[in-house]
A and B are shown apart, each in its own frame.
Chain A
Amino acid sequence: MSPDPAHDRAVDGGAGHAAYPPVQVTSPTFVGMPKFPKAARAELANAQQRRNLRHATHTIRDKRAHVVAEVDDWEALRVKGADAKDEALTHLADYLERLEESLTANGAVVHWARDAAEANRIVVDIVRAKEVDEVVKVKSMVTQEIELNEALEAAGVSAWETDLAELIVQLGHDRPSHILVPAIHRNRKEIRDIFVREMGAVGRPAPEDLTDDPARLAEAARLHLREKFMRAKVGISGANFAVADTGTLVVVESEGNGRMCLTLPETLISVVGIEKVLPTWDDLSAMLQLLPRSSTGERMNPYTTMWTGVHEGDGPQEVHVVLLDNGRSHVLADRVGRQALRCIRCSACLNVCPVYERTGGHAYGSVYPGPIGAVLNPQLRGTASDIDRSLPYASSLCGACFDACPVRINIPELLVELRGKVVEESGPTAESAAMKAAAWVLSDPRRLATAQKAATIAGRLTGGRTIRSVPGLGAWTNARDLPSPPTETFRQWWVREHGNEDA
């Protein structure tokens, strides 16, 4: 991971439109991430971030709980949402072909991309053909996933993020740490400093007297972004949903920047993961109730933009849709794992996760952090890297994520399943030897009783005294006392009291 190699390049740009150098290249990628426990240890020590995350996750958590409780039968709605997604995923090829037909019939151009490289090449080629050197972007997880901004920059095109939080991340030469709120790890004082320091290098500078008042910060962002909206010839988006029947793409957002990007430019390119397809228009009804309540904790999001191909004289006159696989059909092939493809990227699971709340998103080594990231990344990317192998273990299996998920993804079940895969692929290790030995002991009461004798001998030695350190058990005893073993097990007591006769 390089810290920010192009930071210097980003600030020595000239003045005037498009003389601004690309900025996104300064965002370090996740390649070479250490395994989760190590990355987490560093994040845990960041006091400011701990406080920011605690405050933000608890605020959204409480808002969500409140608006979910208002719904008469939230559980029925969850089932409806999960069913719609399952129907689409079970017959994915059919619905994708239907989507392509509908889109094409409405004047959109459909492209198919097997992986990130193919998708990026398609988008770069379209942008190059338009002879532009900048694009405006709607907040989109899938373009973060494929690192489209970096690909555009390599082709000499600046990709301007226009979502407020993405803008903060981009200007801060940072990485997103949350699905919905990418700058959740920053507080407003830090944001003010980033705006003052960075905005001038890539466009309209922040006002010199900028304070950390949220209204002033939003105003600074608005002014900075407006000139980019007015100028851009090409917009790039993802999509929250893609309706197969009608060929309608849907973007759900809060700030209105998405609406600007989706309507002002002449050309619109939308990169859409193949799991975003919904069979019918009717399926949107459950989704549009589930998503805002689960993500921002609102009854309805402020802006919902829907577009169906090209409409003459209204909005972009050239509409491209890139349908992306990038590991999704691999996930689909797994009977248990495929439920992760139901995810609508609401981030409810992040906001309720006690692990995420303390480590933040960066430790997960992906644009998909938190519980859903812990199950999605090892499936999409495989388990070849340290980080992806460690992600299924980055959970206490407390189950809060499953309860919060609007499309009923059983994340704890999936985590356990993926742990099995990691074990299988790792071959013999010290851990597997220990686990096999434990299984051997536990599979026979006589063996268990023999092993228990060792514990009671230790119990007699410690004599009930508090155990504060045990060689080899530092991971436990560094910060926790260890319970002192008893001098007699329950089994021994029972036999002493009731005899050796089995019931």
Chain B
Amino acid sequence: MSPAARRGDGPRVALFATCFNDTMWPGTPKATVRLLERLGCRVEFPLQQTCCGQMLTNTGYAAEAVPLVRRFVDVFGDYDHVVAPSGSCVGSVREQHPMIAKDDAALSSRVAEVAPRVLELSEFLVDVLGVTDVGAYFPHRVTYHPTCHSLRMIRVADRPLQLLRAVRGIDLVELAGAEECCGFGGTFAVKNADVSIAMGSDKARNVLDTGAEVLVAGDNSCLAHIGGVLGRQRSGVRTLHLAEILASTEEHPA
């Protein structure tokens, strides 16, 4: 446990990094740890965690996801607060784990206990810690894409925007058609690549129209898709996870 965490007098929090962030975007869970510790939380990372199983479930392999659901409740069952920097993975835990576990009564009841305690980062900050100003500094023009699962599955509503508005130095501009899907959709991005790209192109155009340097969202998978399109166009727009902007300070800029 880090010295900072030992000093924290806030709640004990288990970080669910998510397998995608762990493997591809470690900067996001690192920023989450930095941010939560700055706010006084005692952050733990249970090393036995792996994945919520969303990719399997959404592609039609729910049976293969059962062991992952079992592992999830075993690993996180003892925590009052589980926080993940991903609306989509939190959505999978809260909305899909009950469905996957439905044929196993024991697992079902474990899921019913654990799943509601799993929160997306902005939910935890606003609802549990009760903060919107997290002391961040980020002097750039930013536009926010509210990812579908954050918006319509777990309903984070405007919590991320409340947090972003309180960031010092930020020039937060509204994204046209913000609530429309970017076209990532997990395996949809490759199974229906043409439609996915058509959707991503429209999203990228709306991002460019804002004149923002940075596109922020609460899911790195959506950002990889939109950022992939923006990068191919050599648009010069950066994508950043919400956690990284909220963790950003003058001393440690994102």
- Find B46's partner among A37, A355, A483, A503 (CB 8 Å cutoff): A503
Residues of B close to A422: CB separation below 8 A: 60
B89 within 8 A of A: no
A467-B139 Cα distance, complex, nearest whole Å: 29
B195 touches A490 (CB 8 A): no
Residues of B close to A354: CB separation below 8 A: 180-181, 183, 199
B180 touches A503 (CB 8 A): no
| Chain A interface extent, by class | 35 or more
- Find A479's partner among B47, B180, B197 (CB 8 Å cutoff): B197
Give min CB distance, B253 to chain A, whole Å. Answer: 18
Residues of A close to B153: CB separation below 8 A: 399
B192 touches A36 (CB 8 A): yes
Instruction: Please choose the segment from A68-76, A138-146, A149-157, A437-445 that sits at the chain B interface, where 4 or more of its residues have CB less than 8 A away.
Output: A437-445
Residues of A close to B148: CB separation below 8 A: 396-400
Mostly, the A contact residues are: helix
Q: How many residues of B contact A (CB 8 A)?
A: 73
A469-B227 Cα distance, complex, nearest whole Å: 15
A468 within 8 A of B: yes
A497-B43 Cα distance, complex, nearest whole Å: 13
Residues of A close to B232: CB separation below 8 A: 468, 479-481
If A476-B190, A486-B26, A489-B22 touch, whether A400 touches B197 (CB-CB below 8 Å) is no
Report which residue of A402, A413, A439, A490 has the largest number of chain B beta carbons within 10 angstroms of its beta carbon: A490
Give min CB distance, B235 to chain A, whole Å. Answer: 11
- Bits for A398-420, please: 1 = Cβ < 8 Å to B, else 0: 11101100000000010010011
B64 touches A41 (CB 8 A): no
If A438-B56, A486-B24 touch, whether A37 touches B194 (CB-CB below 8 Å) is yes
Q: Which of A461-494 contact B (CB under 8 A)?
A: 466, 468, 475-476, 478-483, 485-486, 488-491, 493-494
B55 touches A438 (CB 8 A): yes
A423 touches B61 (CB 8 A): yes
B191 touches A37 (CB 8 A): yes
- Bits for B1-20, please: 1 = Cβ < 8 Å to A, else 0: 11000000000001001010
Residues of A close to B134: CB separation below 8 A: none
B196 within 8 A of A: yes
- Bits for B42-57, please: 1 = Cβ < 8 Å to A, else 0: 0011111111010111
Q: Which of B81-103 contact A (CB under 8 A)?
A: 96, 99
- Find A402's partner among B152, B190, B194, B198 (CB 8 Å cutoff): B152
Report which residue of B2, B14, B71, B152 has the largest number of chain A beta carbons within 10 angstroms of its beta carbon: B152
B191 touches A445 (CB 8 A): no
A154-B100 Cα distance, complex, nearest whole Å: 49
Closest to A363 in B: B195
If A483-B24, A494-B45, A497-B2 touch, whether A358 touches B199 (CB-CB below 8 Å) is yes
A398-B179 Cα distance, complex, nearest whole Å: 10
Give min CB distance, A246 to chain B, whole Å. Answer: 39
- Find A394's partner among B53, B192, B198 (CB 8 Å cutoff): B192
Closest to A500 in B: B47
A314-B124 Cα distance, complex, nearest whole Å: 66
B44 touches A442 (CB 8 A): no
A498-B43 Cα distance, complex, nearest whole Å: 11
- Bits for A430-449, please: 1 = Cβ < 8 Å to B, else 0: 01100110110011110010
B2 touches A435 (CB 8 A): no
A481 touches B183 (CB 8 A): no
Mostly, the B contact residues are: helix
A8 within 8 A of B: no
CB-based A-B contact count at 8 angstroms: 199
Q: Which of B196-232 contact A (CB under 8 A)?
A: 196-201, 224-225, 227-229, 231-232
Residues of A close to B179: CB separation below 8 A: 400
- Bits for B146-183, please: 1 = Cβ < 8 Å to A, else 0: 00110111000000000000000000000000011101
Residues of A close to B224: CB separation below 8 A: 482-483
Q: Which of B49-78 contact A (CB under 8 A)?
A: 49-51, 53, 55-65, 67-68, 71
A495 within 8 A of B: yes
Report which residue of B193, B197, B225 has the largest number of chain A beta carbons within 10 angstroms of its beta carbon: B193
- Find A442's partner among B58, B68, B96, B195 (CB 8 Å cutoff): B68
A482-B225 Cα distance, complex, nearest whole Å: 8
Q: Which of A258-283 contact B (CB under 8 A)?
A: none
Residues of A close to B53: CB separation below 8 A: 439, 442
Give min CB distance, B86 to chain A, whole Å. Answer: 13
Give min CB distance, B42 to chain A, whole Å. Answer: 10
B189 within 8 A of A: yes
If A466-B231, A483-B228 touch, whether A40 touches B194 (CB-CB below 8 Å) is yes
Q: Which of A23-68 contact B (CB under 8 A)?
A: 36-37, 40-41, 44
Report which residue of A395, A398, A494, A495 has the largest number of chain B beta carbons within 10 angstroms of its beta carbon: A398
B30 within 8 A of A: yes
A78-B55 Cα distance, complex, nearest whole Å: 31
Residues of B close to A402: CB separation below 8 A: 152
If A37-B194, A40-B192, A396-B184 touch, whether A498 touches B2 (CB-CB below 8 Å) is yes
A419 touches B59 (CB 8 A): yes
- Find B17's partner among A403, A451, A490 (CB 8 Å cutoff): A490
B60 touches A399 (CB 8 A): no
B19 touches A442 (CB 8 A): yes
If A358-B199, A475-B193, A502-B47 touch, whether A432 touches B228 (CB-CB below 8 Å) is no
A443 touches B61 (CB 8 A): no
A452 within 8 A of B: yes
If A476-B228, A490-B22, A493-B26 touch, whether A432 touches B50 (CB-CB below 8 Å) is no
If A397-B58, A435-B64, A452-B22 touch, whether A480 touches B188 (CB-CB below 8 Å) is no
A455 within 8 A of B: yes
A502 touches B46 (CB 8 A): yes
B228 touches A395 (CB 8 A): no
Residues of B close to A483: CB separation below 8 A: 24-25, 224, 227-228
- Find A452's partner among B23, B56, B64 (CB 8 Å cutoff): B23
A393 within 8 A of B: yes
B195 touches A359 (CB 8 A): yes
B135 within 8 A of A: no
Further contacts, 12 of them, CB under 8 A, given A40-B194, A358-B195, A498-B2 = A37-B193, A392-B60, A419-B58, A423-B60, A423-B61, A431-B59, A476-B228, A480-B225, A485-B23, A493-B26, A500-B47, A503-B46
10 pairs across A/B with beta carbons < 8 Å?
A394-B192, A395-B188, A397-B188, A398-B152, A400-B179, A416-B62, A482-B228, A485-B24, A486-B25, A503-B14
The list of the 8 closest CB pairs from A to B, nearest first, reads A396-B185, A480-B228, A419-B60, A398-B181, A423-B60, A399-B152, A481-B231, A439-B64
